[in-house]
Structure formats: structure tokens, C-alpha cells
Chains A and B, each alone.
Chain A
Amino acid sequence: MADVILIGEVNDGKLRRVTHEILGELVRQGVDPIVVIPGNGLAPSLAEELGKHGASKVVYLEHDGLKQYSTEGYANALHGYLGSKQISAIVTGATAQGKDFLPRLAAKLGVGMAGDCTELKASGGSFTVRRPVYAGKCSKAVEFVKGPAVFSIRPNVLQMETGKAKMASVEKAAANPGTIRAKIVEVHASGGKKVELTEADNIISGGRPLKEKFNILFECAETIGAAVGASRAACDEGFAAADMQVGQTGKTVSPKLYIACGISGAIQHLAGMRTAKVIVAVNKSADAPIFGVADYGLVADLFEVVPLLTQEFKALKS
């Protein structure tokens, strides 16, 4: 039977959680994927960790040229390794990296792809996926006319598997990253303990009424390790940085907890956060559309609510 390939992503010497999440879903559906990790000098602990989450076969696709990520190096090496094999599906996380190389890999294979999926269904060697479109206002099923099915899965959506630990076998395969024309020359980590919006479990977001006072959200966010987001209006007016924008023209997030402060809930914004597990809305106007998607609503002044919330969260942690 044709193999299913899960391309693993390593960040800071550890596998990204999304790799385990996809693995978990595949294992639950009776698929035993080959986890392929491009890199060089990859630690044995990665395979052990994958085994704990249900993987039985791991391939380290190694070459000095893969030590650092590059679009072309990854696409070339993976195509070289996978090109001649019998494969029914290739899947990876819809991360900055996955979203970047996967289209090029699909193009090399001459197949279609589906990006940023939230569901996958394996049946008899063929795959169907579901992916949000129109920033989550709607979703669609995607079938692949010819194989392999190539798709990426959104982080934070599928569940990891912990009950099916195995000893994963590790095979080392030589890779050929080919000619790399676009190379990373500088890596810059954004300062401090900033939590990445798309990976955050908790998000506190603010709208235009916050004006220059986003600091109160940051203070509150710190108490529960939350990321801070913003509405388009707040970003357009310069109250919040552009990379904080949640919505159709900003980031799509699906945290466990989303607290919207002073955000009315334009369609544009709802599209980016409506898949959050629990939504809390704080707004002075009881008619604000945000209450239509919220689980808990506080019809109150955010400037009164947020400092109290910070206190309560602090009390909780101590």
C-alpha cells in the first residue's frame, strides 16, 4: 500500500506541536505514517518523542544544506526523496515554514494542494480534507483528482495522541537540496516573552476604544500567558501593531480562550476568531454583534473590566 508522509517540523531542537497533532489524528484514523524530518544532525530524541505520540517509522532526511530552512532546499530535497515513491498523501503543518515550501513541492509533483486544513479523512488510501475559506465564514471539502494528496493542517486544531506509544524506527536518508538561491542571512526573534498569536492558547484582543492604552491588555495577558490581538480599526489607527490584527485581512486564530475588549464584532473580525473554543466579549453596547458569537458577555466599560480581570487572574495564579 502507498505510504502516507508526514513532514515534521523542528524548531529550536524540538518538534513543533502541530507535527504531533497531525500524527495523532492519522494514528486515530488507522494510518501509520512515515514521519520525514528534513535537517542535519537530527537528535535521536526527536524520533523517541514521535514514538511516544504514535509514530512507528521516522526518516531523517539529512544534508548540510538543510541545517537551516530554505524554501528551495526543502522543496528540492523532499521532491528528490519522495518523487519516485508510492505515496498516497503528503501532509505538514500550516506554519510559516509549511505554508512556504509545500506549494513548491506540490508544483514539482504536478498535483493540486489544499492549504491550512482543519479536518482530514483517510479512507482506503485516499484522502479528503476540509478547509476554512473566506477567513472561516464558511468551509469546504477538497478532493484530490490525482495523487498524492498534498495538504497542510492548521496548528491548534487536531489533538495529539498520548495513549499509543511505540518504539519508532529511524532511517537516515541522504538528501539533495540542490541549488538554493534564496537563503536566510539573518534570524531575528521578536523581543521578550511575546506569545505568537496563531500559536497562543489564550488571546486578549482590543478594539479602537483602547486608543493608546493597549498596555492594560498586555498587563492582563501576561498573567495568563496570553497573546494580545487587535481589531483592524485599532491597527489602522496605529493603536496596535499591524502584526497584531485578527480578522479576515489579519491573522486567523483558534485559541482556547479569546477575550474581545471593545471590539464591536465586524464580519471582518469575527472571521478571524470565531473558531476559538471559548469567546468572552466585553463591550459597552449590548447590541454589539460580538455578543452574537460570544459564550460569555460583559456589558460594561472595558477600562473598568480589564484591571479587575488582571487582579483576578493574578489571584488565581498565586
Chain B
Amino acid sequence: MNIFVLVKQVPDTETKIRVNASSSGIEAKEIAKWIVNPYDEHAIEEALKTKEKLKEGTVTAIAVGPDRVVEALRTALAMGCDNAIHIKADESIDTYVAAKALAAACKKESPQLIFAGKQAIDDDQAATFGYVAEYLDIPSVSVVVKVDVATDKKSLRAVREVEGGTHTVETSLPALIAVNQGINNPRYASLPGIMKAKKKEIKAHTLADLGLGSETALTKDSAFALPPPRKACVILQGEVPAQVKELVKRLREEAKVI
């Protein structure tokens, strides 16, 4: 089975978020490290596990963005992906352009199954999966915590998390599955894997050669701002039972939340 994984490179979760001078984004200098979006690590793991279970197939990681994203693709290769595709694009793209590009590059290779993370932890938009599936005209299931591909490889069942429970969704293939954490425990890249990944060729596309040279972002970001600072903390005093009594009193009378 030809399996694809959509991978996004994001700033490390420990990054100190500051707004840049023009408020047009976060301060790039603060980003000490870029990582594979944690939800996409789960997607990579699920793709590799699916291949292992089916005992055949290839897993291709695909990412869109500036040259730095090659590093994320190397990580995907080191984890065990067979191939990687990099679509070169600058930082100005939005969900729409990124999804158009990912869909166009996927279309060339007709994957049967595409995995993605349910969202990226930088923009938190949780929309790329839907756009890509729509532009490929394939069904999608999001926030998935379990996947079972049918033995005939023509359909799958996915368990998706919803408020207060789950839905089990059955879909024909090809399909796109956006996974949530809890679906698996992503493997670490092995040392031989890392060595092998360094030598692998990464296929490159540009937006122009995907026929998307004239596409531009349809949303415009501005006015990045940090959340307003919270009031100073009131540290309750006295013995613990007195502190607890005081807390409940204040929650009731001062904060009026209970």
C-alpha cells in the first residue's frame, strides 16, 4: 500500500513566545529548535505500523515550507519512512496554499492512505487535513485514536473522539486520517535509521512546478499579541484547613465561580 504522511515542522514546545517588533509574528530569534509537530509523529508511527501490519507498502513523508523543513523530513526518514518529498515555499503561505500544494504533490503519486496529525501545535488551526482531503476528493476522518485497515485493503475503520465519547467511522480507501495522540507511542529514530536518513534523497517540488505559482494566501495575519498578564496570585495563609476554608470562601464570595 502506498501510504503518505503529512508532516509539519514547528517550533519546539519549550520556545519562549515573544511578539516581533512589527507584531507580524513571533520573534524568530527565540526559536532555538524546530521539531516535527508532535501530532505528526503519531501520524508517522501509525503509517509505519500500518505498513508493518500489512507486511508490504511504502511510507512517504511530505512537507511544505522553507529549506529548514528538510530536517523534519530527515527525522521522518530516520523513524522509518521510505521516501520524503519537500515542497519549497516561503513563510507567507497559509493553510489554503499549503493544502493546495500538499494535495497537488500527493495527487502525482496516488496514495491509498494518508495520515496527518489532527493539528499543528504552532498555528493550532486543525484545518489542513480537511482542505487536502477535499482537494484530493477523498473522505477524511479527524481526531482519530484507532485505525483498522480491512484485510482486502479497500476500506478501514477509524475511531474518532468527539465530546463525551467516540464515533467509529467506516470509509472506503483512499482516505485521509488525521490522528490524535493516544493512538500510539511514536518510536524513536534508531542510530542506523539516522545514518540511513542522512543519505536518502529527498524529492523536491516548487509551487510553480505543481501548477500553483500564482496561488497566494487567502488569510492575512496581523497584530500578534501576548495574553494580558494575570493579576498577582493571592497566597493563602495559615494552617492547611484554614487555607482551604479561606479558598472556598473566596471562590464563592470574591471570584463567584462556585
Contacts and interface: CB of A to CB of B under 8 A. Distances in A.
Contact of B127 (A102, A145, A182, A309): A102
A112 B170 contact: no
B255 A295 contact: yes
A29 interface: no
Contacts of B134: 75, 103-104, 107-108
B248 A292 contact: no
Interface residues of B, number: 82
Name which of A95, A96, A194 has the most chain B CB atoms within 10 A of its CB. A96
Contacts of B218: 111-112, 144-146
Contacts of A132: 124
A274 B230 contact: yes
B163 A295 contact: no
B21 interface: no
Interface string B1-44: 00000000001011111010000001000000000001100000
A280 interface: yes
Contact of A190 (B11, B165, B221, B223): B165
Interface of B, helix, strand, loop or mixed by DSSP:
mixed
A312 B245 contact: yes
A241 B161 CA distance: 14
B191 interface: no
Contacts of B241: 308
B212 to A, nearest CB: 13
Contacts of A277: 255, 257
A248 B119 CA distance: 11
A141 B124 contact: no
Interface string A175-193: 0000001111111111000
B164 A245 contact: no
Contact of B219 (A114, A181, A309): A114
Nearest to A75: B134
B233 A243 contact: no
Contacts of B245: 312
A185 B157 contact: yes
A309 B244 contact: yes
Contacts of A222: none
A145 B234 contact: no
Interface string A290-318: 01111111111100110011001100100
